[in-house]
Structure 1
Amino acid sequence: MREDFLHYVWQQQYFDKQNLLTETGELLTVLHPGFHNTDAGPDFLNARLQLGEVEWNGAVEIHLRASDWHRHQHQTDARYDQVILHVVLTADQPVLRTDGTPIPTLALAGRIPLEMLHTYQQLQTAPPATLPCAPFLTKIPEITRLSMVDRALLERMERKSATVQLLHQQLDNDWEATAWHVLAAGFGFRKNTEPLARLAKALPLRILRRHRHNLLQTEALLFGQAGFLSAANEKAEDIADEYVQMLRAEYEFLRHKYDLENTGLKEHEWNFLRMRPANFPTARLAQLAALLHARPLLFDALLSAQNVAVLEQFFSNESSVYWRTHYRPGRAGKVPALGRSSMHLLITNVVVPLRVAYARSVGQTEQVEAALQLLTELPAEKNHVLALYEGLPFTHRTAADSQGLLMLATAYCQPLRCVECAIGSRILRHNSALK
């Protein structure tokens, strides 16, 4: 059993309260269990209890064993002096405040419904790579499943937008620069997200803006700072390639002009392993250069787009002729344009979090809903995580569903946080004699 289960039992009051006594024999009545505290300090705050004839207001601390109080060093922490009740599964020793006064203890062993305990254990011991609640889902109302996926979707986008807001602060509250950074990282498509994020830091937007009208110079800055034009790594095919030599000459000039010495990446920092040429980071850099060349105002365009069709048009920019026929410097091969599925990933992972972050920063909460609405225009995603939900009674028609299910899987199902999930909570309540 995990401590979060006892938190759930206490918060919902799912235990037998007849003849409720503390370990010292005091009659206990719970008037209000308190409010769950997600910060440091006791687990529940502002609880109201009656011990004997006296009403108490204060905090409640919860442990599996009473001895955990000492194991966590609460006896020396003044924040826990406000605790008026110690709720445990097993009371194996008395506990004291910092001043030595005893704290009443309530042991719940034998008071939690056996059916609920059995269901909880079943959820917690589900086989790996399975959905713990799958056997129970047919008993869960559709509205509960839908609302939990919606909640998980919002949590996922809020988490992503929080990262964008932090980046925005680091970039002196410049939304255009923020758009450049998140867009660059997005073009990494997971395997090269981290090096592309570092490339954005190594190549400020203010420099790119000055040369965006010249595609050759834009490419030279991107490929040069990415480490693909280094003379130290020059290969025979590069020497024979006139376009690569033009890029290198442009980069050498711009590198000295903007003092970009030793700020870029190295070629070996990019991932090419087990990737098709269309997904090579060099192909993505060429597509990013074409986008910067064609779209002078990134943030305004991403913020004002009314629908997915407009955003698809935003991302529809042909790479230069050279990069349509070369997948690496000096290496010929046909490279397709940015596909719709890639555009949809950029909308999901870049545009929507960026717009949610902006809406939160300016207090336009209605724009959060408008940003999430974009996801309902995109088709559902498919991957090994989402495969867990196939054949189960979950709606999975759009990217909004996909993103909600991904959050549900990674934040609740896989770490077995069933008691914090509306679906898991409903299952436990359904299997409680106290429901």
Structure 2
Amino acid sequence: MKEDFLHYVWQHQYFDKLELRTTAGEEIQVLRTGQRNADAGPDFLNARLRIGEVEWNGAVEIHLRASDWSRHQHQTDPKYDQVILHVVGAADAEVQRTNGSLIPALALQARLMPELLARYTALVEAPAAAPLPCAPLLHLVPEITKTMMVERALLERVERKADTIMELHRTLGQDWEATAYHALMAAFGFQKNSEPLARLAKALPLAVLRRHRHDRRQLEALLFGQAGFLVDNEETANDEYIQDLRQEHEFLRHKYSLGEAALVVHEWNYLRLRPANFPPVRLGQLVGLLHARPTLFDALLTAQSVAALTEFFQAQAPEYWRTHFRPGRTGKVPGLGKTSIDLLITNVVVPLRVAYAHYVDKPEVVESSVALLSELPAEHNQYTDVYDALGFVHRTAADSQGLLALHKSYCAPRRCLHCAIGSRLVQQPRLR
């Protein structure tokens, strides 16, 4: 049994409440269980209890063993002085507040419903090889419960991404255009090169690029030069185009006191990448985008459909980077593909718009932004395939994102009691 099971039992009052008493024999009446606390401090806040003849308002702390109170050093933490009841599995010790006063305890071990505990144990102790902890029991769960849980997980995933955007927005002086630039730069790395591109964005401020947004050659020199791709080597020795960009970069670097290149060639990742995904190819596409779309944020915010956003991302790279996979090495390079654009919409556009919607308090923008995911095709990978096989609805990117969130936040860490599906399977009729 884990502590989260006792949290669940207390929150839903799934235990025998007949003649409920503290370990000292005082009668307990639960008037309000309290609200789960996601921050530091006691587990449940604003609880209301009658203990003996006195009504108390305060917090409830929960542990598997009462001695965990001291093990976690709560007796020296003033945040826990508000605790009015210590709910435990086993009462193996008395606990005190910082002033030495005793805290009443409720021991639940003997009051737990065996069937409830058995179902919970079956979920959290399912074999690691099982596709999902609840797989054998999914037929008992109504479709509406599964659908609503996937939708909830989707919104949680989008909100987490939006929170990351908001943090970026704060670090950039609340400049939404700069936020869009940094978010897009990192996203164009498509995981393998996200970190180097994020570093490049920090080393090459949008304020500098804005001054040259109408001159694609200068944008190219700035981005490729600071990325470390304009070095003189065997492949570029006779490449006049790269030599010209190198000279332009040197001029602009000194003009803006940019220092040496922010990265060197070996910091970019090529392993297991197809040539169409090579960093210089992606950087060329970014040059085309920054040149053709001088106002990134406004365009991403006002686009009314996936079709409009797809058109936004289809700006052409400079001609050289349509025929070179890397400096000095030729080859036919495809443009930014539909799958890549869909990922950019999913991982940048939607979270960016949701973050802005919260910033200006426009909930309708949140709804319309998340709805964009329903216009995108479903993503298929090793995680979503598991849910497909178990009969979960999986038709659009909204479904995919919800299923990925369900896997990462609930199924993989065995947080079954926090999931509507797992909770449904564990629930039993309440005792008195």
TM-score (norm 2): 0.97
- Give the equivalent residue in structure 1 for 2:405: 407
Q: What is the letter of the counterpart of residue 329 of structure 2?
A: R
Contact 1:31-1:49 within 8 A present in 2 as well? yes
TM-score (norm 1): 0.96
Contact 2:228-2:261 within 8 A present in 1 as well? no
Contact 1:161-1:353 within 8 A present in 2 as well? yes
CA distance in 2, matches of 1:333, 1:296: 29
The partner residue of 1:243 within 238, 241, 244 is 241
CA distance in 1, matches of 2:58, 2:208: 58
CA distance in 2, matches of 1:99, 1:208: 61
* Pairwise CA distance, 1:120: 1.0
* Pairwise CA distance, 1:432: 5.4
Q: What is the letter of the counterpart of residue 92 of structure 1?
A: D
CA distance in 1, matches of 2:420, 2:230: 53
Contact 2:228-2:265 within 8 A present in 1 as well? yes
Q: What is the letter of the counterpart of residue 146 of structure 1?
A: T
SS at match of 2:380: coil
**1:47 and 2:52 equivalent?**
no
- Give the equivalent residue in structure 2 for 1:278: 276
Contact 2:226-2:260 within 8 A present in 1 as well? no
- Give the equivalent residue in structure 2 for 1:177: 178
CA distance in 1, matches of 2:159, 2:56: 38
Q: Give 1:62-73 correspondences, 5 Å limit.
A: 62-73=62-73
SS at match of 2:133: coil
Contact 1:145-1:394 within 8 A present in 2 as well? yes
Q: What is the letter of the counterpart of residue 3 of structure 2?
A: E
SS at match of 2:169: helix
Q: Structure 1 stretch 367-376 or stretch 16-25: which is displaced more?
A: 16-25
**1:15 and 2:15 equivalent?**
yes
CA distance in 2, matches of 1:344, 1:322: 25
* Pairwise CA distance, 1:52: 2.7
Q: Structure 1 stretch 11-20 or stretch 37-46: which is displaced more?
A: 37-46
* Pairwise CA distance, 1:266: 1.4
Q: What is the letter of the counterpart of residue 52 of structure 1?
A: G
- Give the equivalent residue in structure 2 for 1:321: 319
The partner residue of 2:337 within 332, 339, 344 is 339
CA distance in 1, matches of 2:180, 2:145: 36
- Structure 1 112/432 Cα, relative in aligned 2: closer, same or farther at 3 Å? farther
* Pairwise CA distance, 1:102: 1.8
* Pairwise CA distance, 1:56: 2.3
- Give the equivalent residue in structure 2 for 1:301: 299
Structure 1 stretches of 4+ with a deviation exceeding 6 A read: none
- Give the equivalent residue in structure 2 for 1:204: 205
- Give the equivalent residue in structure 2 for 1:122: 122
* Pairwise CA distance, 1:433: 6.0
SS at match of 1:385: helix
- Give the equivalent residue in structure 2 for 1:147: 148
Cα shift readout 1:34-59 (whole Å, capped 9, x = no counterpart): 22122222111222222233322222
CA distance in 1, matches of 2:276, 2:138: 41
* Pairwise CA distance, 1:262: 3.0
The partner residue of 1:253 within 251, 254, 257 is 251
Cα shift readout 1:326-384 (whole Å, capped 9, x = no counterpart): 10100111111110000000000011111011111011111000100110000011122
* Pairwise CA distance, 1:321: 2.0
Runs of 5+ consecutive residues of structure 2 not aligned to the other structure: none
CA distance in 2, matches of 1:200, 1:78: 44
CA distance in 1, matches of 2:391, 2:104: 45
Q: What is the letter of the counterpart of residue 224 of structure 1?
A: G
Q: What is the letter of the counterpart of residue 405 of structure 1?
A: L
Fraction of identical pairs, as percent: 65
Q: CA RMSD in A?
A: 1.5
Contact 1:113-1:433 within 8 A present in 2 as well? no
- Give the equivalent residue in structure 2 for 1:215: 216
- Give the equivalent residue in structure 2 for 1:133: 134
Contact 1:380-1:402 within 8 A present in 2 as well? yes
Contact 1:356-1:371 within 8 A present in 2 as well? yes
Number of aligned pairs?
431
CA distance in 1, matches of 2:284, 2:166: 28
**1:396 and 2:397 equivalent?**
no
Contact 1:3-1:63 within 8 A present in 2 as well? yes
Q: Structure 1 stretch 105-114 or stretch 19-28: which is displaced more?
A: 19-28
CA distance in 2, matches of 1:388, 1:74: 42
Contact 1:115-1:433 within 8 A present in 2 as well? no
CA distance in 2, matches of 1:243, 1:79: 65
CA distance in 1, matches of 2:358, 2:317: 35
